[in-house]
Structure 1
């Protein structure tokens, strides 16, 4: 009985930690929109990793932890770098710059928990029930129907960029969740950011010198949020939650992220969205909920 109580406490603790991560991530799209008012999309995407990487170095130094990950884990950290340091920020930023609204992006990327679950299944060799795959397929159909309805019967380039963003994030989340079982979550994201610095620092310097920079209060605040919260602080409770509560259970907290992002887009950006967007968000949420339930 005592062991069961310990497991339940761990599960709830993991869920609470993951929820903090989801709350942090839900503001990423509005923050990126603000940041791009004064900075080039590539500069926002890559420059925020430099800001987060500098903070990561401070955290590692204060904790007297090694500044680089174990060599045998380098391959896993490169997957995280490709997925969440470069892939998701670059693809999502370009999608928003191409005309996709934050609310539109929230619905498409709402399929992320299901994509993460698929990556986890493939990576861990699990064999979920048929309902899992049916639910994933329904979620993909819902997203496709939504994008076609919003794009006049066509899938736009921005939609393809958003799909690339969610696939990138799913790979990075899965690999990070696996590493966080052995390494504290804050060190997992810190090592990924530090490993990326030899690429992000020179790229940021070149972009800062060759693109137009028009910093303002809103753009600087958006850039700071994207770098400090979306790229670093949010991952600390997120990876810890996945490791503590289990990827399948704690990952369910991400179901509310599209709805939170819709709220932020309305409050901060003044975006207006109709019933189609709301219906699309709830349809994706229902499908993803089924995938999580079938897998767990």
Structure 2
């Protein structure tokens, strides 16, 4: 039953996310307001990472059989007959892109706060934060490359997978997960760590952001400005909640399952789905929270009329 659900859910998710990501990329490129100019490249990169994560998830449709020792990764997707080394590398790539997307989303939140806090001032703190956020991505990528070279490409490892896959037909075993090696532990900690650490920091940033914006709103009577700031705060709040909703419950559940060696079909089949939810939600959040994007989308779908430029004719009297 789980397989039937996923065979419908993954293609449906892909068909829903792809148009929203393409639309957001278009909005970022052509309709970004001035205060987002410095964030355009980050937003574009995040869209690309989320699309790669979704594409790999839909292609592989993996299942982590966590009650086995070591944990086996089964592939049910359209590419299950490809070489296991390629599929294992794609599986690792999806982990890296998911982690990078989470960190970029947090970086976007921080940079928005930095723009408001240091209005018309230069700040080097954003470069320090960016460097710190890049460290887990570099560590995970390096550890994954090391495991692929030392494990996946080893002849004994490939022979073991070949013997296992000769006995199965509806899926293929593409690799194993063990927390007994330092690279595996580094990957696990770097992926799990931000899920627990970043949300509290995000709430703190949101609180400071709201305080600054509230002080600004007290000095302005512009209804348009107030609505713009309010939608921006709402979008920021949802982005802070997103990792808590999409990642935190499933990763806590995964940790319990791994430690107790309990078989949980829900966790095994649906952890891949939960990792793709941000790619579905984040594009809508960004489109909603930025007024320019929201307005252009309404115009595109005929929900609002485009403003016509007013032509002022100047009458020049001749001498």
TM-score by length of 2: 0.27
TM-score by length of 1: 0.28
Specify which structure has the higher proportion of strand. 2
Higher relative contact order at CA 8 Å, sep ≥6: structure 1 or structure 2?
1
Specify which structure has the higher proportion of helix. 1
